[in-house]
């Protein structure tokens, strides 16, 4: 029987080892059996393993009577959007910000949203029933996707909707965009140019192995240098599948997802567009964001890590903005998943509407508390680590008082414990983090 388990963002791992062609086939078959219908929308990022995994996935869908409509290389939010337009299941072959030798598969419901807990449980249950020997894919070299119906031009529908989400003329802005050599490389630079923006494109020449390599939202340093060197107004950093965004101001300072959310939430609330004056964030969001929202009388819902958790909270509360410090922002008025291009367009519109620089907007929106995050390797996963260190955590928290925050949690994907400490001063955060890391190591 198949033993494939979904994490917070689908299945991901070393391609052809932790994620095989047989696995892709079985996921396709399970999706067909759970969601039914006659069509699925599939797409991928720029990794060299993408075509083979997509072919296997489509073959699995076909055995369940589902024909695959192929978007080819396309951003994750575009695939989700087009799937919703077709009322079809969406399937993305991507490992997001991971290196090229990893790959993954994530699924979207026929409504174009991340899977609910119930849907994900149903997929896993069906996978557990399937006979793994029924998947006979062996080739890893086939770049041809037989039997798929190409709908690549429908990526343009997503672009038009995103561009239509802003109500100001963006002409006059100079933007440097880092495409991470990923799925937005051929889409976002021309889309920005069509919006009247002067565009300087970086890392938009994927070769199958350079995705996320020293670029994109996980490595924005070269983008920061380019913004300063070109005298641009702003830099936008996407990741490999373009579902997250970090920004860089004209001084070369990085503006993370928390700061972007703070700016946009305050602006939307002032304009009466922030549903219920609510914002959804995760436990990793900076204390400064929570303070800023409290001062603005914007209610904040805090969820566990993962944009699926953010989306579920948004649905439950009827809120329309939420996200993560890493740059996954979800605007439910415009879609059901993180969308780096959409986030960038909203940010550019705010700059143009307010006639203020990103630097000034970010400084006015929130004060960023120094934050230290360290990973401690452990021999086995420790899901109860917070309980086991409750005394030590309480001691540190009491010492920091209301000027700091502590979070100790086990990773859901690796044998590491993540220790995060925020404080009014970087030195205080570092010493407290070191203290808790030492306590974790004693238990490891």
Active centre residues (catalytic): 96
The DSSP code for 16 is: T
For the CA atoms of the chain, what is the radius of gyration?
22
User: Measured between alpha carbons, how far is 128 from 115 in angstroms, rounded to an integer?
Assistant: 18
The residues facing 376 across adjacent strands are 417
Sheet of strand 198-202: strand arrangement: 198-202, 174-178, 234-238, 245-248, 254-255
Write out the two tokens for 171: 């002409």
Phi, psi of 252 (to 5 degrees): 90, 10
How many CB atoms sit inside 10 A of residue 94's CB?
A: 34
Tokens 């996980």 correspond to 218
Dihedral sign for Cα atoms in the order 324, 317, 241, 187 = negative
**DSSP bridge pairs for 375:** 418
Cα separation, 351 vs 360, in Å, equals 10
Instruction: Answer for the pair 406, 396: CB distance below 8 angstroms, yes or no.
Output: yes
Q: Which residues pair with 234 in a beta bridge?
A: 175
Distance CA 101, CA 35 (A): 30
- Give the DSSP letter string of 153-164: GGHHHHHHHHHT
Residues 273, 163, 261: CA angle, nearest 5 degrees: 45
Alpha-carbon distance 85 to 231, whole Å? 40
């Amino acid at each position: 029987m198949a033993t494939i388990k979904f994490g917070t963002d689908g299945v991901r791992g070393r391609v052809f080892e932790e994620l095989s062609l047989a696995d892709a086939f079985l996921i396709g078959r399970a999706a067909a059996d759970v969601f039914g219908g006659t069509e699925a929308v599939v797409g991928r990022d720029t990794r060299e393993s993408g075509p083979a995994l997509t072919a296997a996935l489509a073959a699995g869908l076909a055995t369940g009577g589902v024909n695959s409509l192929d978007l080819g290389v396309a951003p994750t939010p575009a695939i989700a959007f087009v799937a919703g337009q077709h009322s079809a299941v969406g399937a993305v072959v991507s490992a997001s910000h991971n290196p090229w030798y990893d790959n993954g598969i994530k699924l979207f419901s026929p409504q174009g949203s991340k899977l609910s807990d119930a849907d994900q449980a149903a997929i896993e249950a069906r996978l557990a029933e399937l006979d793994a020997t029924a998947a006979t894919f062996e080739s890893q070299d086939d770049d041809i996707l037989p039997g798929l119906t190409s709908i690549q031009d429908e990526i343009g529908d997503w672009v038009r909707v995103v561009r239509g989400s802003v109500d100001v003329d963006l002409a006059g802005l100079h933007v440097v965009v880092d495409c991470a050599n990923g799925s937005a490389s051929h889409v976002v630079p021309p889309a920005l140019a069509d919006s009247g923006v002067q565009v300087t494109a970086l890392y938009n020449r994927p070769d199958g192995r350079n995705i996320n390599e020293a670029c994109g939202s996980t490595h924005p340093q070269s983008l920061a240098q380019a913004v300063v060197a070109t005298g641009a107004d702003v830099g936008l950093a996407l990741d490999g599948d373009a579902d997250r965004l970090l920004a860089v101001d004209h001084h070369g300072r990085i503006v993370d997802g928390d700061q972007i959310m703070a700016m946009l939430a305050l602006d939307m609330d002032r304009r009466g567009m922030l549903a219920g004056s609510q914002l959804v964030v995760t436990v990793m969001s900076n204390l400064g964001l929570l303070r800023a929202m409290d001062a603005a009388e914007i209610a904040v819902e805090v969820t566990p890590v993962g944009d699926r958790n953010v989306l579920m909270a948004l649905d439950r509360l009827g809120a329309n903005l939420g996200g993560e410090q890493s740059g996954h922002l979800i605007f439910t008025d415009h879609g059901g998943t993180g969308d780096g291009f959409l986030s960038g367009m909203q940010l550019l519109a705010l700059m143009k509407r307010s006639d203020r620089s990103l630097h000034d907007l970010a400084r006015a929106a929130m004060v960023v508390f120094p934050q230290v995050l360290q990973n401690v390797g452990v021999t086995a996963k420790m899901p109860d680590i917070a309980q086991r260190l409750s005394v030590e955590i309480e001691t540190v928290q009491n010492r920091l008082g209301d000027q700091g925050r502590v979070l100790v949690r086990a990773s859901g994907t690796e044998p590491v414990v993540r220790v995060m400490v925020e404080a009014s001063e970087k030195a205080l955060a570092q010493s407290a983090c070191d203290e808790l890391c030492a306590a974790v190591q004693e238990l490891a």
